[in-house]
Structure 1
Amino acid sequence: MPTATAPWLLLAVFSGALISLQSRITGALAAGLGGDGFAAATISFGSGLLVLAIGLVVARGARRGVGRVVADVRARRLRRWQVLGGFGGAAFVLTQGLTVGVLGVALFSVAIVAGQVAGGLLFDRMGLGPAGPQRPTRRRVLGAVLVLAAVGLSMADKLGGGLPYAALALPLIAGVCVSWQQAVNGHVRNASGSAYTGTFFNFAAGTGALVAILVLHTVFVGLPDRLPTEPYLYLGGLVGIVFISIAVATVQKLGVLLLGLCTITGQLAGSLALDLLLPHGGAEVTPATVAGIALALAAVTIAALSGSTPSRIVTRGAAADAPAPQESHRKLS
């Protein structure tokens, strides 16, 4: 593993731990809203967008970055779908609210990870991320398989029968959406020259999608009767800003698959730490959980040893000299 890559790997693992923290906060917020996951997801995304919008007012560089992204979209150097990475985040939190109660956290996590790893392999091979095409080397594939095994091992003693396995399709699709989100967010970062701007567009797209869905949900169900008063329940947006910013900044350095493997490892480790420090809901730390985290760390190390150098993948009709990774957002269609 190149020494220069190690800090980016550690940052990506840390961002995964923050995802676990945000999930715990958003879950508690949904419970405080009478089980309304739609409202909880919208509040989480919306609060993050509000903080970022205030930052735009005081940060001239961030405003210039927004202007550069808008100009690139108008000039078609940046495709419109490339600024909609927030849809992936919206799909994740909505699927969490819709299926965790049916599947349980264990099966939900396995399905999300399976979709995320599959999406990472696919999108790296396609060159969808700003790092350009990444060959699915044997070590990367082995790392992906070991991460799936790690998640299954850590959850093995929590699985039960009689579950509607057909519902696994939603988190599987959401996992692929998360990988797509990580890939396209990097293009916005390249266009703007700022991870802050990429994060802002992510929250804007995600909040817009969630507000539209919440409006439809409200027509049939109505709004929660009250808002919880505990201040920490409204910190999910701030936590999301941090881990999405890290993903935006690191995807070009690591590629979509390796970034996903690192965040998955961080999620497992973060969940373990939260269960040890803040146990709730009957959560229990078992030897299988610890063994799964150890296996995930080994998987990330194996995948990282393959390096993150973009491969020269030439498709029919493509020029032999592929564009530099930093310019890939101007070439994708």
Structure 2
Amino acid sequence: MNPDQPRHARRIPLVLALLLAVLAGLTMSAQGRVNGALGARLGDGLAAAVVSFGTGLVLVAALTVLPSGVRRALKRVLPAVRGRKFPAWYLFAGVSGAFLVMSQGVAVGVVGIALFTVAVVAGQSVSGLLVDRMGLGPGGRKYVTLLRVLSAVLTLVAVAWAVSPKFAAAGSAQAWLPVALPLAAGFLQSFQQALNGTQTKHYGSPLPATLINFIVGFVLLCLAWLVKLATAGPAGALPAQWWYYLGGPLGCFFIVVAAVVVGSLGVLLTGLGMIAGQLLGALLLDALFPAPGSVITAATVLGTLLALAAMVLATLPWRPTALPARLRKAPGRARSARSSR
């Protein structure tokens, strides 16, 4: 086999792959809590995002440069762009990741990790319909089914239900403005996954696309932070506790695990397992380690469960018609056969 050609990932057992997908979702919830705590400690969510992306960039760069197979995959980036395997603007998928990490640093300390996660899932479920219809991902264009539309609507209802305690406790702008950030971040996530999936298909490894994501996101966040520094002054001093700097490595773990299990589970089951891990992890974190602004009521729990049920609903098969096979294959000949009788 030519070493310059992409290699296919090995399949792993179904149960193990599902457990890893749920673990990746739990990791993403932990990342949100860490970045939110760092943002509150610094008094600057943007500075927290820069720190998180910076540590993640160092780790991904090491993982990309050290293995020889990944270095070969990295050499396929420029030929893929020059050969127009995908539009060059796909390389800017990291903008979405930067916005997500920034929203973690700003919003998690205000609304809590549970409501933050439900809002991200809601935005992602809605944009997933659009991304599939546009055909931006490696699987090409997919039709919008009735069950998928119903899933997106139910997820939005779930967000409104879960956020209702926070909405009742404060004014409308105070309650919904922090939730708008994770909603927008979740909406962009489907685009990022589709663009990264297409790049990975041509590179033969997820790490080159991941490295490009971190570079683009880090540069963008640094530029935004410099503007904020010039207008609002510096953030607080960096904390001495080591766990404040786990946001970047946790994000790397989430991306790598997703890349490993998607070949065995497929995109749909991988996403479902991660969403389950995110929602369950968010509730556990807010219940066991509550942060300022966290609100957990029956509505929060039931809204989260409804969002999870909506994701399950999206996996169910639905076909608009159930015609006999002979009519689907040759409708013209079937009609002419009936007319000749």
Same fold by TM-score, threshold 0.5 exceeded? Answer: yes
Cα deviation, 1:5-63, whole Å, max 9, x if unaligned, reads 87766554443322211111011111222x11111001101101101112233211111
Hey, what does 2:213 align to over in structure 1?
202
Q: Does 1:303 align with 2:311?
A: no
- CA distance in 2 between counterparts of 1:170 and 1:291 reads 22
Which one of the candidate residues 240, 247, 255 is aligned to 1:229? 240
Hey, what does 1:77 align to over in structure 2?
85
Give the 3 Å change call, closer, same or farther, for CA 86–101 of structure 1 in structure 2: same
1:1-333 superposed matches below 5 A: 11-33=20-42, 35-98=43-106, 111-160=119-168, 161-164=170-173, 165=176, 170-248=181-259, 254-255=266-267, 263-281=274-292, 283=294, 285-306=296-317
- CA distance in 1 between counterparts of 2:192 and 2:75 reads 21
Q: Which is worse superposed, 231-240 or 48-57?
A: 48-57
Secondary structure in structure 1 of the residue aligned to 2:141: coil
> Is this contact kept in 1: 2:38–2:105, CA < 8 A?
no
> Is this contact kept in 2: 1:186–1:248, CA < 8 A?
no
Residue 93 of structure 1 aligns with an amino acid whose one-letter code is: V
Please state how far the C-alpha of 1:204 moved relative to its aligned partner. 1.6
Give the 3 Å change call, closer, same or farther, for CA 293–9 of structure 1 in structure 2: farther
Please state how far the C-alpha of 1:168 moved relative to its aligned partner. 6.2
Give the 3 Å change call, closer, same or farther, for CA 172–158 of structure 1 in structure 2: closer
> Is this contact kept in 2: 1:110–1:152, CA < 8 A?
no
Cα deviation, 1:252-304, whole Å, max 9, x if unaligned, reads 8655x876665444322111111233233263543333323333333232222
> Is this contact kept in 2: 1:106–1:155, CA < 8 A?
no
Give the 3 Å change call, closer, same or farther, for CA 81–248 of structure 1 in structure 2: farther
Hey, what does 2:329 align to over in structure 1?
none
Residue 212 of structure 2 aligns with an amino acid whose one-letter code is: F
Cα deviation, 1:182-202, whole Å, max 9, x if unaligned, reads 111111211211122222222
The number of aligned residues is: 302
Please state how far the C-alpha of 1:210 moved relative to its aligned partner. 0.9
Residue 228 of structure 1 aligns with an amino acid whose one-letter code is: P
- CA distance in 2 between counterparts of 1:94 and 1:76 reads 31
- CA distance in 1 between counterparts of 2:141 and 2:16 reads 22
> Is this contact kept in 2: 1:41–1:210, CA < 8 A?
yes
Q: Which is worse superposed, 258-267 or 289-298?
A: 258-267
- CA distance in 1 between counterparts of 2:128 and 2:15 reads 20
- CA distance in 2 between counterparts of 1:37 and 1:60 reads 37
Give the 3 Å change call, closer, same or farther, for CA 268–103 of structure 1 in structure 2: closer
Residue 30 of structure 1 aligns with an amino acid whose one-letter code is: G
Give the 3 Å change call, closer, same or farther, for CA 19–105 of structure 1 in structure 2: closer
> Is this contact kept in 2: 1:106–1:159, CA < 8 A?
no
- CA distance in 1 between counterparts of 2:108 and 2:23 reads 24
Secondary structure in structure 2 of the residue aligned to 1:159: helix
Q: Which runs of 5+ in 2 are unaligned?
A: 1-12, 319-341
The RMSD of aligned alpha carbons is 3.1
Q: Which is worse superposed, 217-226 or 116-125?
A: 217-226
> Is this contact kept in 2: 1:109–1:151, CA < 8 A?
no
Secondary structure in structure 1 of the residue aligned to 2:283: helix
- CA distance in 1 between counterparts of 2:256 and 2:306 reads 27
> Is this contact kept in 2: 1:262–1:300, CA < 8 A?
no
Secondary structure in structure 2 of the residue aligned to 1:229: coil
- CA distance in 2 between counterparts of 1:234 and 1:166 reads 27
Please state how far the C-alpha of 1:141 moved relative to its aligned partner. 2.1
- CA distance in 2 between counterparts of 1:286 and 1:111 reads 16
- CA distance in 2 between counterparts of 1:304 and 1:7 reads 20
Give the 3 Å change call, closer, same or farther, for CA 288–128 of structure 1 in structure 2: same
> Is this contact kept in 1: 2:113–2:294, CA < 8 A?
no
Residue 151 of structure 1 aligns with an amino acid whose one-letter code is: V
Secondary structure in structure 1 of the residue aligned to 2:172: coil
Q: Which runs of 5+ in 1 are unaligned?
A: 308-333
